[in-house]
């Protein structure tokens, strides 16, 4: 499937740009657009998967009412107060 593309501008630190150009050269590519596109796809897929897992976990565990949430928060604060 061929997707349409659109040019855009992103800001990258010089060191990151150099690494992308080096990797692109190793792949026989002139620029690094395909690398950035690949990375964005991987990131978006991972985030979608993470979001889906969070939704599933919340549904499986149920929710806390206000009183239980307050008790949990107090418990966490008490434990954190003992950390060094």
| Two structure tokens written together for 57 | 């976990």
**Segments making up each domain of the chain, as ranges:** 14-81
What is the pLDDT averaged over residues 18-41? 95
Tell me what percent of the residues of the chain surpass a pLDDT of 90: 48
Distance CA 60, CA 77 (A): 25
Q: Is 10:40 a contact under the CB 8 Å cutoff?
A: no
Predicted TM-score of the model (pTM): 0.58
Other beta carbons less than 10 A from residue 33's beta carbon: 14
Residues 31/24, Cβ–Cβ less than 8 Å: yes
Q: What is the distance between the alpha carbons of residues 51 and 53, in angstroms, rounded to a whole number?
A: 5
- pLDDT, tens digit, 9 for 90 and up, residues 48-83: 888 888 888 777 776 777 888 888 889 989 999 888
């Amino acid at each position: 499937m061929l997707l349409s593309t659109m040019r855009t501008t992103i800001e990258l630190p010089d060191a990151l740009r150099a690494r992308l150009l080096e990797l692109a050269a190793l792949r026989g590519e002139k620029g690094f657009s395909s690398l950035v596109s690949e990375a964005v796809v991987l990131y978006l897929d991972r985030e979608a998967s993470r979001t889906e897992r969070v939704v599933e976990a919340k549904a499986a565990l149920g929710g806390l009412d206000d009183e239980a949430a307050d008790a949990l928060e107090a418990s966490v604060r008490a434990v954190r107060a003992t950390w060094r």
